[in-house]
A and B are shown apart, each in its own frame.
Chain A
Amino acid sequence: MSLFFVGIGVLLVGGLLSAAAGRNGPWSGRLGALGAVVGCGLALAPAVGVLGTGVALESRLPWPMPGGSFRVEIDALSAFFLLPILALSALAAVYGTGYLRPAPRPPGAHWLYYNALVAGMALTVAARNGILFLIAWETMTLASFFLVTYDHQKESVREAGWIYMVATHLGTAFLLALFLLLQKSSGSLDFDRLEPGTHAGLLFVLAVLGFGTKAGFLPLHVWLPEAHPAAPSHVSALMSGVMIKTGIYGLVRILTLLGPPPLWWGWLLVGIGATSGILGVLFALAQHDLKRLLAYHSVENIGIIALGLGLGVLGVASGSHTLAVLGFAGGLLHVANHAAFKGLLFLGAGAVLHATGAREIDHLGGLQKKMPWTAGCFLVGAAAISGLPPLNGFVSEFLIYLGAFRAVSGLGTGVAVPAIAVIGSLALIGGLAAACFSKAYGMVFLGEARSGHAEHAHDPGGAMVAPMLVLAAACAAIGLAGPWVVRAIGPAIAALAGPGDLPETGLLGRVSLGAGAFLALAALLAFLRSRLLAGRRVGAAATWGCGYAAPSPRMQYTASSYAQPLTDLLRLFLRTRKHLRQPGGYFPGPSSLETETPDVCRDRIFEPVFRGFGWVLARLNWLQVGQVHLYVLYIALTLLALLIWRLH
């Protein structure tokens, strides 16, 4: 346990030293990243130990905070979430040293907030007291706000930062209500003494709203597609890969505290998962900005996680241990998997952005030949996120499928209907995700360069490539070692599903075997190809030349045209706006087509609501006179009136 605290201390000291190094840019960056890597490494050790032995570590420090106590515990569930958080943080820090060079200004402040974010996340999942939890939660939120606004000279970045700030504080408001109610019903905020009382359902809904805002459940996801593209790429990787998972952690932690769940909690989670998953991937399909597309995929993957958790809750509520284990195993494993492949994809997108300066997919193209390492890693990530074997995304989705098929029969309609919904939506999500990533990979890395940005790109330095390679290897390793991984996280699953053995690892073993055979076959074919081509003349031509005499890059598919059949089919949900100037007449003038897909939830739900609030508050504007004297007078009169009223 002390190693964990030392790790957190090293993180914070590293951040402070980096900030203190100030103008000396290179040293500042090195100190900050070194603090992050060493701190994460130290804090990782106890987490790994807890998962290995299954014995929880606990510690309680004196803390003169009313209602609070500095209780920290690493049990299997916390350890399971700590693992991806710390590992990805360390990798992203290494990447960040390369990404922030050449820096417009000394990176000290950036590293201070980066390390504070990591420390906040680690403390959030280890805290065992409501007040400590909320403090760690807010530390995380504020630090990430400052990280998002790194490029604060840009208007769009500032706006994204504010949207993030407002959204996340709304979420925290629900959490405050949740903890206040818990405090009222149990008289303490220590997690082991919390009693849900009579209104567990209300508490669960508050938790879904509060933690769902951070996790990105639809329609609370509005900050994700704004904040992720605005942040520096390694920060996007960290936020999308692990920070939004603290919301999932909060939700499952509250689930363990609220007692046996009724069936409708499972329905709620499955419903949220299905809408977030399907609409998330749909909006991703319609995006032209690579990082925005990835941000919408986070919404989709959070949806898949919610589907798994929903199945798990259904299993617990209906007394089916197998279903509970499969659902929670799928959901939890997808948390780790998403951290690996989404972290990888954001780092890859960052490498592209760093090399070309462009995030618009339609400005890129042909990067595979110029950035082979980045392209290879991105391809692994893209295949993993689409849920294709032999990579890790398949394993977790497979577990959820297995659970859903188990639940279809024998557990009553109350479980069968959501199970069918899970199967249908998961299939749809998988197909659309594959379509979306064939678009993203195809447009960015295949074909020919579409603009001058992409023509002179090259692979980034080792500090940026190595973390991507590690993450790609992790994707493949989890995919191939499915049964062992599930067994390793067994204690965390048991914390949610109840004790008992883990079914179906045998089936997963056969999946691994099949994946291994597939890889061997692919290697054999590649070997054969090289043998057959040896000594022959191999010609090279323009990609997608289609036999034209003079193909030009402008003749390629664009991101919009590739996705157009699907986006047109689903225009009911997407509401894509087209600005079309058609060629017409005998002497056609210039013509153009532009499409944009703004977020429906933001435009239709949040904008009107906030405008309404603005209208109401504008009516109260006369109170604001702008003079300190009068403000103090307000306060003094109020206090005096209250005092006299109380004593009278």
Chain B
Amino acid sequence: MNMLMETVVVLLILTNLMLLGTSRLFACIRLVAFQGVVLGCLPVLVHSGHVGARAVGLAVGTILLKGVVFPRLLFRALREANIRREVDPFVGYSVSIFAGILALAVSIWTTRHLTIPGPGVSTLIFPVSLFTILVGLFHIVSRRTAISQVLGYLVLENGIYTFAVVIVGEVPLMVELGVLLDIYVAVFVMGITIYHINREFDHIDADQLDSLKG
């Protein structure tokens, strides 16, 4: 079991770093979807020993939503916007990867100073969840297209999800479903918004949407 957890941790780190170094948006979506599928397995892995029906249900729901539904929505938005690459981001790809490694270091340093309650599942899972959160934020900040921001948001949520599943384990089902529904609606709305932004302005560059500034 612990072996599997370590694999999850490694996969998370790798997907995060790859996301930072990828310019093709279709590949980015695929990466985030893959990350979602990996995370979907977490509830089952955390409960070493018996696996309840609830954990399985949650795993299946997460995998379906993050691995199938979101990517489809985003692929559609992308095709409709007719955009393939993130051209000219604010921060270049190699610098992004370095920033990612720096974020990993910061997360490890931070979690070392945190006192984390509950059984230690894996010493690396907490720094990596924080790392995922930071990567998500960095992705939102450093990319230009609206679709990248949606992806950053999803990665950020993945980080929070990892942290929550591992640390609490026993989150009430309602809360979990609520969070899933939340992001489902968020991605849905963002997909529609991107489509409309593109139709209205012929681009989805969020940095040019500042006409409401006071």
Contact = CB atoms under 8 A, between A and B. Distances in A.
A625 B208 CA distance: 11
Contact of B110 (A621, A627, A635, A647): A647
A626 B149 CA distance: 15
Contacts of A636: 134, 137-138, 141
B126 to A, nearest CB: 13
B212 A626 contact: yes
Given A640-B106, A647-B113, A647-B114, A629 B213 contact: no
Main secondary structure of the interface of B (DSSP, over half): helix
Contacts of A648: 113
Contacts of B213: 624-626
B110 A644 contact: yes
A490 to B, nearest CB: 47
Contacts of A635: 137
Given A633-B141, A643-B110, A644-B110, A625 B210 contact: yes
B206 A628 contact: yes
A624 B214 contact: yes
Interface size class of A (residues with CB under 8 A): 10 to 19
A632 interface: yes
A632 B206 contact: no
Main secondary structure of the interface of A (DSSP, over half): helix
B46 interface: no
Interface in B129-179: 134, 137-138, 140-143, 149
B212 A627 contact: no
B90 interface: yes
Interface in B87-113: 90, 106, 110, 113
Given A621-B214, A636-B141, A628 B149 contact: yes
Interface residues of B, number: 21
A632 B110 contact: no
Contacts of B137: 632, 635-636
B207 interface: yes
Nearest to A617: B214
A647 B113 CA distance: 6
B141 A632 contact: yes
Contacts of B207: 627, 629
Interface string B170-212: 0000000000000000000000000000000000001101111
A636 B141 CA distance: 9
Contacts of A629: 90, 140-143, 149, 206-207
Contacts of B209: 626, 628
Contacts of A644: 106, 110
A442 to B, nearest CB: 49
Nearest to A636: B137
Interface of A: 621, 624-630, 632-633, 635-636, 640, 643-644, 647-648
Given A628-B149, A628-B206, A647-B110, 9 more contacts: A626-B211, A627-B206, A628-B140, A629-B90, A632-B140, A636-B134, A640-B134, A644-B106, A648-B113
9 contacts: A626-B210, A628-B206, A628-B209, A629-B140, A629-B206, A632-B141, A640-B134, A644-B106, A647-B110
Interface of B: 90, 106, 110, 113-114, 134, 137-138, 140-143, 149, 206-207, 209-214
Q: Which are the 7 A-B pairs with shortest beta-carbon distances?
A: A626-B210, A626-B213, A647-B113, A636-B137, A633-B141, A632-B140, A629-B141
